[in-house]
Amino acid sequence: MKPVYVVGAAETPLGKVPDHSEFSMVAVAAREALGEAGLGFRDVDALFTNYMGEEGSVQLGEYLGIRPRYAESSDMGGASFEFFVHHAMLAVTAGRCEVALIGYASRQRSRRSRRRAVDATDQSLAAQFEAPYGIHFPIGHYALSAARHMHQYGTTSEQLAAVAVAARQWAALNPKAWVRDPLTIAEVLASPMIADPLHKLDCCLVTDGGGAIVIAGPERARDAAKRPVRILGAGESHCQWHVAQCPDLTVTPGVVSGREAFAMAGISPSDIDVFEPYDNFTHAVILYLEDLGFCAKGEGGAFAGEGRLGPDGSLPAMTSGGGLSYNHPGALGILLLIEAVRQLRGEAGARQVVGAEIALAHGTGGLAFSTASTVILARE
Amino acid sequence: MDPITVDPTTEPFWRACREHRLMIQRCRACGHHQFYPRPFCLACEGVDLAWVEAKGEGHIYSQTTIRVPATPEMTPPYVVAIVELEEGPRLLTNIEGASSEIGDRVRLRWRERGPLPPLPVFTPAEPGS
Long-range contact set of residues A221-225: C-beta below 8 Å, sequence gap at least 24 = A221/A3, A221/A5, A221/A7, A221/A37, A223/A37, A223/A38, A224/A5, A224/A7, A224/A8, A224/A36, A224/A37, A224/A38, A225/A35, A225/A36, A225/A37, A225/A38
Residue of B nearest to A194 (CA): B67
Q: What is the pTM of this model?
A: 0.97
Q: For residues B83 and B35, is the Cβ–Cβ distance under 8 A?
A: no
The pLDDT of residue A121 is 87
- Say if the Cβ atoms of B80 and A140 lie within 8 Å: yes
Phi, psi of B21 (to 5 degrees): -120, 130
The pLDDT of residue A1 is 80
Segments of chain A scoring below 50 in pLDDT: none
Residues whose CB is less than 8 angstroms from the CB of residue A204 and which lie 6 or more positions away in sequence, other chains included: A279, A280, A281, A322, A323, A324, A328, A332
d(CA A319, CA B37): 44
Distance between start and end Cα atoms, chain A: 16
DSSP 8-state secondary structure symbol assigned to residue A131: G
- Say if the Cβ atoms of B71 and A196 lie within 8 Å: no
CA-based nearest distance B13→chain A, Å = 11
Q: Is A133 a catalytic residue?
A: no
Using the Cβ of A263 and the Cβ atoms of chain B, whether some distance falls under 8 Å is answered with no
Q: Is A326 a catalytic residue?
A: yes
Using the Cβ of A212 and the Cβ atoms of chain B, whether some distance falls under 8 Å is answered with no
Q: For residues A358 and A238, is the Cβ–Cβ distance under 8 A?
A: no
Residue of A nearest to B75 (CA): A134
pLDDT tens, position by position, A92-137: 999 999 999 999 999 999 998 888 999 988 889 999 999 999 999 9
CA-based nearest distance B20→chain A, Å = 16
Query: 3-class SS at A39?
Result: coil
- Say if the Cβ atoms of A135 and B66 lie within 8 Å: yes
- Say if the Cβ atoms of A136 and B82 lie within 8 Å: no
Residue of A129, A133, A199, A202 to mutate, testing the B interface (most B Cβ within 10 Å of its Cβ): A133
Per-position DSSP letters for A252-270, written without gaps between them: -THHHHHHHHHHHHT--GG
Q: What is the CA radius of gyration of chain B?
A: 15
**Starting at the edge strand that comes first in sequence, how are the strands of the sheet with B23-27 ordered?**
B33-34, B23-27, B49-53
Strand A99-106 with A46-49, pairing: parallel
- Say if the Cβ atoms of A143 and B3 lie within 8 Å: no
Averaged over successive runs of 10 residues, the pLDDT of chain B (129 residues) comes to 85 97 98 97 97 98 97 96 98 97 98 96 81
Largest distance between two CA atoms of chain A: 56
d(CA A211, CA A274): 20
The pLDDT of residue B127 is 63
Q: For residues A313 and A163, is the Cβ–Cβ distance under 8 A?
A: no
Looking at the partner chain, which of B68, B92, B103 has a beta carbon nearest the beta carbon of A133? B92
Using the Cβ of A120 and the Cβ atoms of chain B, whether some distance falls under 8 Å is answered with yes
Using the Cβ of A185 and the Cβ atoms of chain B, whether some distance falls under 8 Å is answered with no
pLDDT tens, position by position, B59-69: 999 999 999 99
The pLDDT of residue A115 is 86
CA distances (Å), A264 to each of A65, A261, A268, B107, in order? 34, 5, 10, 48
E strand or H helix at A137 = none
CA distances (Å), A120 to each of A24, A127, A205, B2, B73, in order? 33, 4, 25, 10, 11
d(CA A106, CA A323): 14
Mean pLDDT, chain B, whole residue set: 95
Residue of B nearest to A248 (CA): B61
Chain centre distance of CA B68: 24
Closest Cα partner for A285 from A263, A306, A261, A309? Answer: A309
| Beta-sheet strands, E only, within A73-116 | 99-106
| Residues forming a β-bridge with B124 | B106
Using the Cβ of A145 and the Cβ atoms of chain B, whether some distance falls under 8 Å is answered with yes
Chain A residues near residue B93 by CB distance under 8 angstroms? 133
Which is the catalytic residue, given A70, A142, A278, A288? A278
